[in-house]
Amino acid sequence: MKNKIIILSGDPNSINSEIIYKSLKTLNKSIKKKIYLISNYKLISEQFLKLKYSIKLTQVNDIYTETDNDNLKVINITLNFKNPFNVLRRNASKFVLKSLDYAHNLALDGKVKGIINCAINKNLLGKSQIGVTEYLSTKCKIKKDSEVMLIQNKKLSISPVTTHIDIKNISKKIDKKIIIKKIKTIDKWYKKQYNKKPKIGILGLNPHNAELRKNSEEKKIIIPAIAKLKNLNINIKGPLVSDTTFIEEYKKYDVVVGMFHDQVISPFKTLFKFDAINMTLGLKYIRVSPDHGTGVNLIGKKKANPISLINCIHFLNKCNK
């Protein structure tokens, strides 16, 4: 039972149906048998049909249902959709939230190996503009700021201390305790998953690390956090200068930690494009997702790159719980 992989089809107004189909075409039968798609059966069927994708689906009631064929097993989330490629926002929001809650409950009970959610527009998650990371953290009832966003591929991982917040609020949201907590979570994850003590580089917040002025966040918060982490025998170096780290220096580290979302994610995507997965550490289960958005400009064009979802599936299949 625990080897089952569940994939949420995510935002219905997206390229998700395309990348799901393209990903499945690359998988061997043993992995395909483990996959259950949480979606709306009619919606996903019509999207595949409109894309002229030939794929056999079987609607199932739960993850206990096995099939004798290679059909994609779909757990139906009941909602009425009129146009499969232009779902009203309120319906899309209901669908996404019901899908996430269903997957969360399965994973919380230890019934599956983990969950993969395809891209979701965070505007569908409520008025507070949170992302899936924060939504599932709240569902898991873990302490605020205990979750960690980690984006990785075979060459590098990156992690922002703060995630989906406005630039003007970043300096208010970082402190020594949060930095220490998040880096300890990353260090623990690497030891558990890869039997490895990771080399971690941490960026400063300000341009040129504010020349390490007395009143800077580097001096008051980041450097003291690094000292504490070194005392805990964590292999960490910094504060690194963010405007040059991603030229060559990043290659010295397993993980580069930044203070805010775009500080690390923008250069990472410039280097590696779609070759990465996004995961949330600190939850009560494993959650990963493709490292890209809904791609609304590509809907129906059959040009979407599935590599990130393929990487998610293979990662979860091999992952140690």
Each residue's pLDDT tens digit, 194-225: 899 999 999 999 999 888 899 999 999 999 99
Q: Is the pLDDT of residue 125 over 90?
A: no
Q: Are residues 150 and 223 in the same domain?
A: yes
On whether both 137 and 180 belong to a single domain, the answer is no
Structure tokens at 57: 């689906």
Residue-level length of the chain = 321
CA angle (126, 267, 22) in 5-degree steps:
65
Question: In sequence order, what E strands does 77-230 have?
Answer: 114-117, 148-152, 157-160, 200-203
Residues above pLDDT 90, as percent of the chain: 68
- Write down the pLDDT at residue 232: 97
Task: List the single range of 11-20, 205-214, 223-232 with lowest mean pLDDT.
Answer: 205-214
Does pLDDT of 81 surpass 70? yes
Same domain? 23 vs 40? yes
Residues 173 and 269 occupy one common structural domain: yes
Distance CA 254, CA 200 (A): 6
Residue 217: in which H helix or E strand, if any?
helix 217-217
pLDDT value at residue 321 = 55
The mean pLDDT value for 244-272 works out to 96
Q: Does residue 304 sit in the same domain as residue 273?
A: no
Q: What is the pLDDT at residue 69?
A: 78
Averaged pLDDT, 122-146: 79
Do 73 and 133 have their domain in common? yes
Top pLDDT among 163 and 157 is at 157
For residue 128, pLDDT beyond 70: no
- What whole-number percentage of the chain has pLDDT above 70? 98
Mean pLDDT computed over 110-132: 84
CATH for 319: 3.40.718.10
How many domains does the chain fold into?
2
The Cα–Cα gap between 122 and 127 comes to: 9
Q: Are residues 14 and 130 in the same domain?
A: yes
Q: Which of 63-72, 185-194, 205-214, 296-305 has the lowest mean pLDDT?
A: 63-72
pLDDT band at 155 (very low <50, low <70, confident <90, very high): very high
Question: What is the band of 126 on the pLDDT scale with cuts at 50, 70, 90?
Answer: confident
Q: Are residues 151 and 258 in the same domain?
A: yes
Give the span between the Cα atoms of 229 and 237, in whole angstroms. Answer: 10
Could you report the per-residue pLDDT of 248-259, keeping only the tens digit for each? 999 999 999 999
Clarify whether residues 277 and 290 are in a common domain. no
Checking if the pLDDT of 292 tops 90, the result is no
Specify the pLDDT at position 199: 98
pLDDT at 160: 96
Query: Residue range 62-68: average pLDDT?
Result: 81
Residue range 62-73: mean pLDDT, rounded: 84
Which residues form the domain of 106?
A: 1-141+284-321
Assess whether pLDDT exceeds 60 at residue 1: no
User: Do residues 163 and 55 share a domain?
Assistant: no
* Arithmetic mean of pLDDT over the chain: 91
Quick one: average pLDDT of 29-53?
93
* pTM for this entry: 0.86
Residue 129: Cβ within 10 Å count:
12
Shared-domain flag, residues 129 and 152: no
φ/ψ of residue 61, rounded to 5: -85, -25
- Do 261 and 166 reside in the same domain of the chain? yes
